[in-house]
Structure 1
Amino acid sequence: MTWNKPLPQPTPISAPFWDGLKAHTVRIQQCESCAHWIFFPRAHCPSCASARLAWRGVSGEGTLYTYTVARVPTLPEFTDEMPQLLAVVALDEGLHVNTTLVGVKEGEIAIGMRVRPVFDERPVEATLLRYTSQGSDQPRVIEARREESAAQDRNEAVLENAPPKRKIDCKDIDALKSLVSDTFSDWSTQFEVTQQVIDEFAKLSGDDYWIHTDPKRAREEGPFGTTIAHGALVQVLISRLKLPMTFEVTGFTNMVNYGSNRLRFATPVPSGCRIHARCRVAAVEQVKSGVQMTMEINVHVVGQDRPSVINDLVILYM
């Protein structure tokens, strides 16, 4: 399991909190002098200035104090998690914790609702604290292995639920023209564009510009705050995405990808994000050498409405 998002950097003061999350326990400090509960972790009690602080395990439960729905990524790495449900939870001990809601839909969120902790193990190096509604069926722990299995299940579901394909002979020009539509297909399978995939493409293509291959420099100097995939790479990865096509062209001797009428790299694909695609038949015409079909294929980062790659692919059936 890869993780392309920022991770916490525990300090000697905060380490017990992060260690507790790894053990699926919420631990917060309590002053032994005045019994004041403390969060975020500190060296002295903000109420009485005592240094006699102890770590206590608590339920982590509380109520939703406030929330917002972020439809623009807070950082480029969160492009594939849109919309983000950012929240502040008031623990039963009276403390406020910044977090992210999972396992709930926007319409189900209400200020004051009871919430419980969810331990997100996907980063592997650390466990993150999320929250969900008390009555949600969201598992208490989000395991990296379970997330990988869920991704595989999503891809299998796309393939299994694909409708039976209508077979159309390439000489039946009227039937082919009936496929032209402004409506896009359902989503394809998904593919994770990891830094390793980007590095391998850079080595193969010779395009090793730092914005693609140097995460540290891209984070410090780049306009996107992280490395991004080459536009050409994302275009090539269309071949890795299984589109749920409703038709199959038959009766041809040769099929040639003739080129593209339009190829645009509209938005970046940050490393570590998943992509999927959808398509539509934009045009069909009889040409001297056969039948030419133009397929508009739009590749999106999962969770993003705006496409990353727009490719009007021209296919020639001869």
Structure 2
Amino acid sequence: MSNNKPMPAPTEISAPFWEGLKAERLLIQQCNACQHWVFYPRRHCPSCLAHDLSWREVSGNAKLYSFTVTRIATLPDFADEMPQKLAVVELDEGVRINTNLVGLEEDEIRIGMRLQPVFAEVDDKGSRLLRFTGMDSDVDSLKRLPTLAEPEAESTESTPPARRIALDDEAALQSLVSEEFSAWSNQIVVDQALINAFAELSGDDYWIHTDPERARKESPFGGTIAHGALVQVLQSRLKVPLGFEITGFTNMVNYGSDRLRFPAPVSAGSRIHSRARVKSVERVKSGTQLTLELNIHVVGNERPSVINELVILYM
């Protein structure tokens, strides 16, 4: 989950609602003059116009009034949550709230179904947002903040052994050249903390990388993005299943890159993975040169964020 998503800004009027969510309590206003329940937070009762409202705790039990499923993120930061189930729910007190449904498959959702609140933790500061789920769902599991760098579960399927190719086997080396890419690597999250660490190390602290508030207002990407060089460097943490192993050499060096491009941004909080293909193999004066095209993508994005034609020299 991205830690760079826009968050609500409590005002003097709405602050009790947001503080209540932090304490896992749903507080809404009620008019002391006519007993009308009020949401969204405001200074006066929309029914009788009295300026006499009090905050009261309610159960949060509700029914689904309407919903829609969205599959394209409005901001890049939300790509990890697609598809989103956006909903309007009606509390038992009669007020309606815009929210997200969680813990439900699309075929489980029905207009009028009974719902319960989820006080979902969304950052490590204890901030929570109000979401809803079915009455039979495990609410506690939906409250917890997803770990940004959860390790990938190891596959239970056996991995076939890598094809071993001798450096002097010219025909076998040339057979590696292909237009087809390998399977995907493991995934890692490029969060704001990682971007900030790279900015400090590299000295590149330009605001589009390090200032989330300004980036949300001024950046064409709707938030901060990772340095292209950072995403490229992270390739070493992405284990691409190439399916072959070169043998029979004395030394191997990363000789450089024929081409290095950054076609698409990586927004803070994005999850990335990589795949590769052998573009060419040729004999040169100093040894055998293999060009490996590495493409790093944000998970779910067809357009790569990094294209690196890495030249490896075997001697």
**Common fold: TM-score over 0.5:** yes
What is the aligned partner in structure 2 of residue 258 from structure 1?
255
User: Residue type of the partner of 2:136?
Assistant: G
Residue 164 of structure 1 deviates from its aligned partner by 4.4
- Give 1:135-214 correspondences, 5 Å limit: 135-137=136-138, 139=140, 141-144=142-145, 147-148=146-147, 151-152=149-150, 155-158=151-154, 163-171=159-167, 172-176=169-173, 177=175, 180=178, 182-194=180-192, 196-214=193-211
What is the aligned partner in structure 2 of residue 3 from structure 1?
3
What is the aligned partner in structure 1 of residue 71 from structure 2?
71
Query: What's the secondary structure of 2:93's corresponding residue?
Result: coil
Structure 1: tracts of 5 or more residues without a match: none
- Using structure 2 for the length normalisation, give the TM-score: 0.83
What is the aligned partner in structure 2 of residue 115 from structure 1?
115
- Give 1:1-318 correspondences, 5 Å limit: 3-123=3-123, 124-137=125-138, 139=140, 141-144=142-145, 147-148=146-147, 151-152=149-150, 155-158=151-154, 163-171=159-167, 172-176=169-173, 177=175, 180=178, 182-194=180-192, 196-271=193-268, 273-288=269-284, 289-318=286-315
- Seen in structure 2, the aligned counterparts of structure 1 residues 225 and 252 have a Cα distance that, compared at 3 Å, is same
Contact kept, 8 Å, 1:181 with 1:280, in 2: the verdict is no
- Seen in structure 2, the aligned counterparts of structure 1 residues 252 and 107 have a Cα distance that, compared at 3 Å, is farther
User: Residue type of the partner of 1:11?
Assistant: T
Residue 158 of structure 1 deviates from its aligned partner by 4.4
* Greater Cα shift, 38-47 or 294-303: 294-303
- Seen in structure 2, the aligned counterparts of structure 1 residues 200 and 161 have a Cα distance that, compared at 3 Å, is farther
Structure 2: tracts of 5 or more residues without a match: none
Query: What's the secondary structure of 1:139's corresponding residue?
Result: helix
Contact kept, 8 Å, 1:281 with 1:293, in 2: the verdict is no
Distance, in Å, in 2 between the alignment partners of 1:6 and 1:242 is 32
Contact kept, 8 Å, 2:177 with 2:281, in 1: the verdict is no
Contact kept, 8 Å, 1:80 with 1:304, in 2: the verdict is no
Residue 14 of structure 1 deviates from its aligned partner by 1.8
- Seen in structure 2, the aligned counterparts of structure 1 residues 96 and 166 have a Cα distance that, compared at 3 Å, is same
User: Residue type of the partner of 1:190?
Assistant: I
Residue 92 of structure 1 deviates from its aligned partner by 2.5
Deviations 1:188-223 (A, max 9, x none): 1313332x4333433443433332233343333222
User: Residue type of the partner of 1:192?
Assistant: V
| Percent of aligned pairs sharing the same letter | 54
Residue 48 of structure 1 deviates from its aligned partner by 1.0
Distance, in Å, in 2 between the alignment partners of 1:31 and 1:236 is 58
